[in-house]
A = this chain, B = another copy of it.
C-alpha cells in the first residue's frame, strides 16, 4: 500500500485485522477517523483501552462485566433460583433483549467439542456445579443448537439429573445449526416457552 503514507497504511493495517473488516472497509474507517475531531478519536481509543483493562468475568455467572457482580446477578428482582446456561455473553444479551426472562444466567465461555479438543474441563462447568449447591430450582440449557451445543446440553443434563434439580432445554424453535445471537426475539421467546424437561 505504498500509495498511502506510512501512518495511514499502518492504521488501515490495524483496522483490517478486526473481524468482518475487509481492506475496503478498513480504508473507509481510516479516512473517517482521520477526518473526525481529535477528541472523538481519543474517546474511542480511551473507551477501548478502559474496557479491555477493566472488563472481567462476573464472579457469579461468568459473563463479561466491569463490576465484581454483573448487573443481572446484582439485581434483587431477578429469580436466583432459575439459571439459564449459555455459551457466551452475546447469547445472554440475545435473551435479555426479549425482556421476558426473569432468572439469572451462567456463561460457559464455549461448548464441549471433541473435534476441537475442548472437553468439559475447558468450559465453566465446575463453576455451574458449585452454584447448584445454593437454592436452585431449575437449570435451563440454552446452548446453541449446533453439534457442540447439543453435546454440551446432554453432558450438563446428565451431570445435574442426579441432584434432583429440574433441567430443561430451550425448545427446537431455534433453527438447527443456528447461532443464538442472530435469531429474532419472537423465535427466542417461543423456544423459551416450549422448553422440554430432559
Contact = CB atoms under 8 A, between A and B. Distances in A.
Interface of A: 2-8, 10-11, 14-15, 17-20, 24-25, 27-34, 36, 38, 41-55, 64-67, 70-72, 88-90, 92-93, 96-97, 181-182
Contact of A18 (B3, B19, B29, B64): B29
A10 B50 CA distance: 10
A2 B49 contact: no
A8 B66 contact: yes
B47 A10 contact: yes
Nearest to A43: B14
A185 to B, nearest CB: 13
Given A27-B90, A49-B41, A34 B55 contact: yes
